[in-house]
Amino acid sequence: MALLLPLPEAAAALAALAALLLVLVCMIAHVTAIKMPTLHQHEEEKFFINAEGRKEPVPTIHDPPTKELSVVVPSYNEEDRLPLMMDEALDYLEKRQKQDPSFTYEVIVVDDGSKDQTTKVAMKYCKKYGSDQVRVLSLVKNRGKGGAVRMGVFSSRGKKILMADADGATKFADIEKVEEGLKNLQPWPNQMAISCGSRAHLEKDSIAKRSYFRTLLMYGFHFLVWFLCVKEIRDTQCGFKLLTREAASRTFSTLHIERWEDSVCFPAAPDPDPCVPESSSRPSLGPGWAFPEPALQCRW
């Protein structure tokens, strides 16, 4: 026979359970905490295959920039979704370059140890557009999204570096919104600034499509992010983030977390000039956030 507790007792029991879970998480974090990690790069990861099939050494973020924009696309088993995103991104970038010949770009697809044909799919774009504009970095083993992004960032040549998800969850043309947010932060202290997209305005619609269990998990995760990391930002998981080269170097040089939780490690202040949502069948960026200081990693 089920034991039914009065509402106050049930709430107290849930609060006690949440507190116990929080203590457990803190204990695990303390035990597993490590010193500042060093970036380990396998010998195979120090090169990329160009459009002619020859090996070339990857550049480093410490080299002077030679492109206006680098787009880093972390990919894991994305052979099906990657083409749609790449077609849209490259169509936009090519049109922009024709309109403004001074605009130069590169797209870096980081295959994070995929078990499918992600690298093969990405290499088709390398051969079509040339390895000066599309490069594929194949990681020896899966590092997680944070690790894949870091490898791409450290191999980039752009003055600005955009993180973009391979699933095309955000319209690529929305880069203009995060660019505007970055521009509004000028002058950049020490050339460091970060502008991030947000889809928080879509939360009500997404809740309506989720099961109660997934909604509960979502709110639980949001609470942990709010309690342990950042309190002002509603959407830390949007994979559309634009960084200046110096900010990217400083941020990812101190990254402790290589899995997907790296997205919450961008503490920020609200964008003074938020993006305006657009009507679309696909989510468009809503009010974003940006900040002019170098990002600091969260330590769990």
Give the whole-angstrom CA distance, residue 142 versus residue 17: 34
* Nearest-10 crossing angle of helices 145-154, 245-253: 130
208: pLDDT strictly greater than 90: no
215 pLDDT tier (thresholds 50, 70, 90): low
- pLDDT tens per residue across span 107-144: 999 999 999 999 999 999 999 999 999 999 999 999 88
**Residue for token digits 């403004």?**
100
201 pLDDT tier (thresholds 50, 70, 90): very low
Query: What tokens appear for 92 in the block?
Result: 């936009």
* Nearest-10 crossing angle of helices 118-129, 82-99: 20
233: pLDDT strictly greater than 60: no
DSSP 3-state assignment of 8?
helix
Give the whole-angstrom CA distance, residue 99 versus residue 146: 34
Q: Residue 162's beta-bridge partner residues? A: 71, 242
pLDDT of residue 207: 38
Q: Which residues contact 15 (CB under 8 A, 6 or more apart)?
A: none
The answer to whether 252 touches 154, Cβ cutoff 8 Å, is yes
The answer to whether 263 touches 237, Cβ cutoff 8 Å, is yes
Give the whole-angstrom CA distance, residue 104 versus residue 70: 9
Nearest CA among 141, 175, 173, 151 for reference residue 248: 151
φ and ψ of 10, to 5 deg = -65, -40
- pLDDT tens per residue across span 3-52: 555 656 766 777 777 778 878 877 876 666 656 556 778 999 999 999 99
pLDDT of residue 88: 96
| Ranges assigned E (strand) in 188-259 | 194-196, 241-244
